[in-house]
Structure 1
Amino acid sequence: MSKLTALPKNVSEETMNKAIKEFVKILGADNVLIGAEEMVPYSKIMMAVDIKDHMPSLALQPSTKKEVVEIVKVCNKYVIPLWTFSTGKNMGYGTAAPAQKGSVILDLHKMNKIIEVNPDLCYAILEPGVTYQQLFDYIKEKGYKLWLSCPAPSAIASPVGNTMDRGVGYTPYGEHFMMQCGMEIVLADGTSFKTGMGGIENSTSWAVFKWGYGPSLDGIFTQSNYGICTKMGIWLMPEPPAFKPFCITFDKVEDVVEIVESLRPLRIANIIPNAFTIASTLYEAAGVVNRSDYVKGNRSITDEEIEKIKKDTGMGTWNVYAALYGTEEANELNWQIIKATLAKFKNAKFLTEKEMGHDPVFKYRSDLMKGHMTLQEFGLYNWRGGGGSMWFAPVSPAEGKHTLNQQALAKKIMNKYGFDYVAEFIVGWRDMHHIIDLLYDRNDPDQLKKAHDCYAELVHEFAKQGYGVYRTSSGFMDLVAETYGKDIHNVFQKIKRALDPKGILSPGKSGIY
């Protein structure tokens, strides 16, 4: 079939044609997408790799679990790789492109039923194609006093997809996998089961008690290719009586060490109940100012030019965002504790909605911290232009000493290749994610090559200093997997061989084949 844009490894065109006939019987011709034009939505990438190495062969769009089961059986029969995603909107982590060339895309966006939202027990059961916007609108329409926790570019993303990749949000429920309860999984042989309490017929507790009986399995299906999740339970946050978002700006680069040391105890004690963000000047400014007004050419931005942006925008070198959730009295008490804790910073500015209510960056951060829908983070992509973006996300303990060390290392490597350090730290309970957006012009072959090499060097050099990446794009999964060593990877592979002996489900996901 000459219309195929690619063929899977070790699969002939004749075999693919047989499989396609069976896919059409299962889904109908309209839901079996073949050809270059049909593959355009699945081949738009922002990572610094050649799309030819990640081109899918065709795409399937099931609407039911039964159809997923039948598709998996066909793929198992013909040993055809199947790359699964919920909505494919994971922009900085590879979008919809498979790790292995020629994989058949299993696009689950049409499986978009909200099965249940329980306003009393505060949970939802969802299919993978449900978007945050869809769930948000449903809750609002029903008048339920429930809040979501969502990632930054939330509206078009999937709660199931984000949780399966262990994504995070900005409310007290921001550790999304921690707030997941119950999965329905289809395995590579077409069998299916429910985790946790779901094995009990007519279970009353599937979405409220995570553990069930025996080994807890939910975790092995996240960031893996052991099965396909067709339903998931997630916990929702009750709307608090009062919400107080705030921003605190700091002048000096060195301040970040003491920021973390001062606020970490308040975070662990839940005085600050959500993960707090420490955003650099460029991370905040990238969506609201034009780089070309400050930098000429493809070189990296200078410290002097960043100071000019700070002066023009009023932003700090570091901009801390967090929120308080509870009664107005409790929030005010905790606000005073936070201000007293940071009183040592003579140049710090304490800003709330009263001062910042109309500021677009503050509104964006406030919306994130109450689970409202936003796409504003996509404004980062205008900073450099050209559609290139890759998230580099190393993790460290929430200790101040790691901030300057990581910042200096990242900035040195990125500046070496002509890129800007656009980053933020997100401090959880005891961990700290360093979220760096490597922005470049994909239309410039030189920048494309440099971005690829820059990302690879970041992965290697951070790993040497004990910093592992918690998530990456489909073009760099093997590279990141190598940094975690052979011992754990061998275990991953043993599980893969047991559950998917032919290796058909998402080969290459997290470096597992």
Structure 2
Amino acid sequence: MTEQTNKAPLPRGVDATNFQQAVAKFRKLLGEENVLVKDEQLIPYNKIMIAVDDAEHAPSAAVTATTVEQVQGVVRICNEHKIPVWTISTGRNFGYGSAAPGQRGQVILDLKKMNRILHVDPELCTALVEPGVTYQQLYDYLQENNLPLMLSFSAPSAIAGPLGNTMDRGVGYTPYGEHFLMQCGMEVVLANGDVYRTGMGGVKGDNAWQVFKWGYGPTLDGMFTQANYGICTKMGFWLMPKPPVFKPFEIKFEDETDIAEIVEFIRPLRIAQVIPNAVVIAGVLWEAATCNTRRADYTTEPGATPDAILKQIQKDKNLGAWNVYAALYGTPEQVEVNWKIVTGALKQLGKGRIITEEEAGDTQPFKYRAQLMSGVPNLQEFGLYNWRGGGGSMWFAPVSQARGSECAKQQALAKRILNKYGLDYVGEFIVGWRDMHHVIDVLYDRTLPEETERANACFNELLDEFEKQGYAVYRVNTAFQDRVAQSYGPVKRRLEHTLKRALDPNNILAPGKSGIDLANDF
């Protein structure tokens, strides 16, 4: 008697008998309650926000592990039965695929129950955590133990986790916002069940695992990020000590055409570390939506929102066409000097109205932006999903040099393509040390098949047209991973598949992740 339901598909290349044999072994290893095969049990793993049919990313089952030994056992069973397994930590990767598997029929390996904070060193400012630890959990731990340390995370942050975000090379809004740069030491279960520790982690009795990244010989940490060569079960990373003074501020610019000058004003301050954190330049709709403004409040007409209405929203909500957020950190003396440099540069620019925390008070969106820059988790940015409603969201995030000319060109191109498909430009630029991430949320009503189809075509065109201009994205949702992998050329793909054949010859670990799948070998 099979427990496979009509709705849950079988994994690729696996028949029902083989699958049920694997399920029985999962139950023996993990316990009945940790092996989920019924339709109602799989609902949390079958919700996607991307513009393809749910069925394309439906899992066959989900299993939850609580120890490294159990993860090793899952890998062993998967090898025996050629079962593809898609690993998630907290499953909160909204806009990039959520908790659903990359391919139809894959078994979800859910590590949310591996949620121990293993160690926090308040003097060396390091942490070691398991995959299921959330930012809110770690923040609460720091608060309860009165540790003067600060987190960095993406937004919205409270329900996401540092391990999963770092493994996907996410970024944040503090001086430690380049999260993979701040990672130090991984424990990885390989496809053959071996447990590999990067950096100093393989040295018996060593205590430098979380303080020295490199170890000896090749440094392989990066190979496991955005990849399917292993399952990360522990990660160390560095925490920022809380500074004596934290001074967040906003600069509002009135005109959409100001974008090039804004970036030219910011870049030298970022490179010199006068402004030490990633600077956000958020468009009017991004900020309005996070404050729960709905498109229906202004118009019910189909298509892209007219510029006249965008200007009205800007006026009604007291927003800029561009809203710049940054912060200063340090001693009173350091902050005072750097504040003079920032305000002097702004005066020289001759435009932009600066707002401090004292002026803004608890008003949104300033408050949640200040929280992000000071390491306080929140969920405010989920307001984006209310702009159009209908649960459709896909993140499009090309990377370029931090130059004003790049911004003007990218924003015009993105807006033209989005508007062509009846969708709105909801975007922000994030200025790193020398790079710039252009983050666009392609929002649409997923309950409308015709609009979902348009959103899919729009996303394809964004990828195509930006690539023609020499831009590629640094992350993408599960439906477009193979397409984006093509942007980076055949040599990279051949190397990735060579590594996959060597480390995972049975192709069991997340086939298709970042376009790496031995079923589509080179």
Tell whether the structures are fold-level matches, with TM greater than 0.5. Answer: yes
Residue in 2 that maps onto 1:477: 481
Paired with 2:316 and 2:350, the residues of 1 have a C-alpha distance of 21
Shift of 1:347: 4.0
Is 1:37 matched up with 2:40? yes
Cα distance change, pair 436–291 in 1 and its aligned pair in 2 (3 A)? same
Shift of 1:342: 1.5
**Residue by residue, what CA displacement relative to the aligned partner does 1:101-135 show, whole Å, maximum 9, x if unpaired?**
11000000000011000000000000000000110
Alignment of 1:170-319 (within 5 A): 170-288=173-291, 289-319=293-323
Identity in percent: 57
User: One-letter code of the match for 1:328?
Assistant: P
**Residue by residue, what CA displacement relative to the aligned partner does 1:116-158 show, whole Å, maximum 9, x if unpaired?**
0000000000000000011000111111100000111111001
Paired with 1:17 and 1:299, the residues of 2 have a C-alpha distance of 48
Residue in 1 that maps onto 2:147: 144
3-state SS, counterpart of residue 204 of structure 1: coil
Residue in 2 that maps onto 1:353: 357
Alignment root-mean-square deviation, CA = 0.8
Alignment of 1:125-140 (within 5 A): 125-140=128-143
3-state SS, counterpart of residue 157 of structure 2: coil
Paired with 1:25 and 1:44, the residues of 2 have a C-alpha distance of 28
Shift of 1:296: 1.9
Residue in 2 that maps onto 1:162: 165
Paired with 1:286 and 1:360, the residues of 2 have a C-alpha distance of 11
Shift of 1:322: 0.3
**Residue by residue, what CA displacement relative to the aligned partner does 1:55-75 show, whole Å, maximum 9, x if unpaired?**
100000001010000000000
Is 1:3 matched up with 2:40? no
Runs (5+) with no aligned partner, structure 2: 518-522
**Given the alignment, which residue of 469, 473, 479 partners 1:465?**
469
Compare 204-213 and 354-363 and name the one that shifted more: 354-363
Do the aligned residues in 2 keep the contact of 1:150 with 1:169 (CA within 8 Å)? yes
Paired with 1:373 and 1:108, the residues of 2 have a C-alpha distance of 21
**Given the alignment, which residue of 105, 109, 120 partners 2:108?**
105
Shift of 1:252: 1.7
Shift of 1:298: 2.5
3-state SS, counterpart of residue 256 of structure 2: coil
Paired with 1:207 and 1:330, the residues of 2 have a C-alpha distance of 29
Shift of 1:286: 1.0
Paired with 2:272 and 2:71, the residues of 1 have a C-alpha distance of 44
**Residue by residue, what CA displacement relative to the aligned partner does 1:277-332 show, whole Å, maximum 9, x if unpaired?**
00001110012222112222321011111110111111111110000000122112
Structure 1 stretches of 4+ with a deviation exceeding 4 A read none
3-state SS, counterpart of residue 154 of structure 2: coil
Runs (5+) with no aligned partner, structure 1: none
Residue in 1 that maps onto 2:388: 384
Shift of 1:345: 4.2
3-state SS, counterpart of residue 368 of structure 2: helix
Do the aligned residues in 2 keep the contact of 1:460 with 1:483 (CA within 8 Å)? no
**Residue by residue, what CA displacement relative to the aligned partner does 1:436-495 show, whole Å, maximum 9, x if unpaired?**
000001100001100111011101111110111000111111111111111111111111
3-state SS, counterpart of residue 443 of structure 2: strand
Paired with 1:401 and 1:287, the residues of 2 have a C-alpha distance of 27
Is 1:403 matched up with 2:407? yes
Paired with 1:299 and 1:335, the residues of 2 have a C-alpha distance of 43
Compare 434-443 and 296-305 and name the one that shifted more: 296-305
**Residue by residue, what CA displacement relative to the aligned partner does 1:15-45 show, whole Å, maximum 9, x if unpaired?**
0010011000110000000121111000011
**Residue by residue, what CA displacement relative to the aligned partner does 1:204-253 show, whole Å, maximum 9, x if unpaired?**
10000000000000000000000000000010000000000000011122
Aligned length: 513
Paired with 2:425 and 2:66, the residues of 1 have a C-alpha distance of 42
User: One-letter code of the match for 1:439?
Assistant: L
**Given the alignment, which residue of 317, 321, 338 partners 1:334?**
338
**Residue by residue, what CA displacement relative to the aligned partner does 1:49-97 show, whole Å, maximum 9, x if unpaired?**
1111111000000010100000000001111100001010011111011
Do the aligned residues in 2 keep the contact of 1:3 with 1:36 (CA within 8 Å)? no
User: One-letter code of the match for 1:125?
Assistant: L
**Residue by residue, what CA displacement relative to the aligned partner does 1:422-447 show, whole Å, maximum 9, x if unpaired?**
00000000100000000001100001
User: One-letter code of the match for 2:76?
Assistant: K
Residue in 1 that maps onto 2:500: 496
User: One-letter code of the match for 1:189?
Assistant: N
Q: TM-score scaled to structure 1, two decimals?
A: 0.99
Do the aligned residues in 1 keep the contact of 2:3 with 2:37 (CA within 8 Å)? no
Paired with 1:262 and 1:382, the residues of 2 have a C-alpha distance of 33
Is 1:19 matched up with 2:28? no
User: One-letter code of the match for 1:151?
Assistant: S
3-state SS, counterpart of residue 326 of structure 2: strand
Paired with 1:452 and 1:362, the residues of 2 have a C-alpha distance of 33
Paired with 2:273 and 2:469, the residues of 1 have a C-alpha distance of 30
3-state SS, counterpart of residue 387 of structure 2: helix
**Given the alignment, which residue of 43, 49, 52 partners 2:55?**
52
Shift of 1:2: 4.4
Residue in 2 that maps onto 1:434: 438
Do the aligned residues in 2 keep the contact of 1:248 with 1:349 (CA within 8 Å)? yes
Q: TM-score scaled to structure 2, two decimals?
A: 0.97
User: One-letter code of the match for 1:42?
Assistant: Y
Residue in 2 that maps onto 1:508: 512
3-state SS, counterpart of residue 482 of structure 1: helix
Do the aligned residues in 2 keep the contact of 1:276 with 1:427 (CA within 8 Å)? yes
3-state SS, counterpart of residue 92 of structure 1: coil
Do the aligned residues in 1 keep the contact of 2:150 with 2:375 (CA within 8 Å)? yes
